[in-house]
Structure 1
Amino acid sequence: MDKVAWVRLTDRRILSARTRGRDVFYFPGGKREPGESDVETLVREVREELAVEIVPDTARRLGTFETQAHGKPAGVLVRLTCYTAEAVGTPTASMEIEEIALLSYADRERVSAVDKIVFDHLHEQGLLA
């Protein structure tokens, strides 16, 4: 499973979203549609989920992280390519999103397995409180 995610840090906390019916938070983003680039996917998914516009020219690859997919059978991996980017607008839960939150490293247990790896990476760099 190949996904693209937006990593937005604010005051050393990270923006995360919880989809309706899910028990963990994820970074905003999702799967690419046929022919889409990572940035095109990021722009579309973040617009759909949070009603904000990613500024494409500001997108910077943070890294790619891979592990067992949350809630999927053993052996199903998720590969998450993360980007930072500027956005226009105020994030608002829309579409399938039930809740958005700014999470700290203390909230690590509230996120998906692959997001935990990103939390660790950001925490080690001193970017996540």
Structure 2
Amino acid sequence: MSMIDKVAWILLVDGAVLSTRSRGRDVWYLPGGKREPGESDGETLVREVREELTVDIVPDTARHLGTFTAPAHGQPPGTMVRMACYTADHRGQPAPDNEIEEIGWLTLADRDRVSAVDQLVFAHLRDAGLLR
């Protein structure tokens, strides 16, 4: 079994979570991405969010929300993704950049539009009373 190691940013506003859709994809993902060799969770979070959404994460505000593991979307069978999720303050207004075609605010009603690991995060946010 292979494991994809990812870090994601959880930005909640009025009971909805910021999500991204990459060019040519029909599934939405929480903003973030794969760790590069030697990077910490915080370094990955800052780099990936800046690349995808043109905003700056305030590193000392990052708080671990949870780590979730599920089958990786669009990968060979047996490939899993482990995603460490963080809330954090930011500077700037999120806007799609690089491979991101669209951003949106998703709720529980959108759960079937996201990857399997994101569905676990949505359930966690629902159980915590944070996602409508």
TM above 0.5, one fold? yes
1:73 Cα deviation (Å)?
Answer: 1.4
Q: What is the aligned partner in structure 2 of residue 14 from structure 1?
A: 17
Looking at structure 2, the residues matched to 111 and 62 of structure 1 have their Cα atoms a distance apart, in angstroms, of 18
Q: What is the aligned partner in structure 1 of residue 82 from structure 2?
A: 79
Task: Choose the corresponding residue for 1:44, options 39, 47, 72.
Answer: 47
1:74 Cα deviation (Å)?
Answer: 1.2
1:116 equivalent in alignment to 2:119: yes
Gapped regions of structure 2 (runs ≥ 5): none
1:58 Cα deviation (Å)?
Answer: 0.2
Q: What is the aligned partner in structure 2 of residue 30 from structure 1?
A: 33
Q: Give the aligned residue type for 1:74.
A: P
Q: What is the aligned partner in structure 1 of residue 101 from structure 2?
A: 98
TM value normalised by structure 1: 0.98
1:38 Cα deviation (Å)?
Answer: 0.3
Looking at structure 2, the residues matched to 35 and 124 of structure 1 have their Cα atoms a distance apart, in angstroms, of 33
Q: What is the aligned partner in structure 2 of residue 58 from structure 1?
A: 61
Gapped regions of structure 1 (runs ≥ 5): none
Residues 17-58 of structure 1: CA deviation (Å, up to 9, x unaligned): 001111111011001111111000000000000000000000
Aligned partner of residue 35 in structure 1, secondary structure: coil
Calculate the aligned-residue CA RMSD, in Å: 0.5
1:66 Cα deviation (Å)?
Answer: 0.2
Aligned partner of residue 37 in structure 2, secondary structure: coil
1:119 Cα deviation (Å)?
Answer: 0.2
Looking at structure 1, the residues matched to 5 and 97 of structure 2 have their Cα atoms a distance apart, in angstroms, of 23
Aligned residues: 129
Aligned partner of residue 38 in structure 2, secondary structure: coil
Looking at structure 2, the residues matched to 24 and 106 of structure 1 have their Cα atoms a distance apart, in angstroms, of 14
TM value normalised by structure 2: 0.96
- Greater than 4 Å deviation, 4+ residue runs: none
Q: Give the aligned residue type for 1:38.
A: D
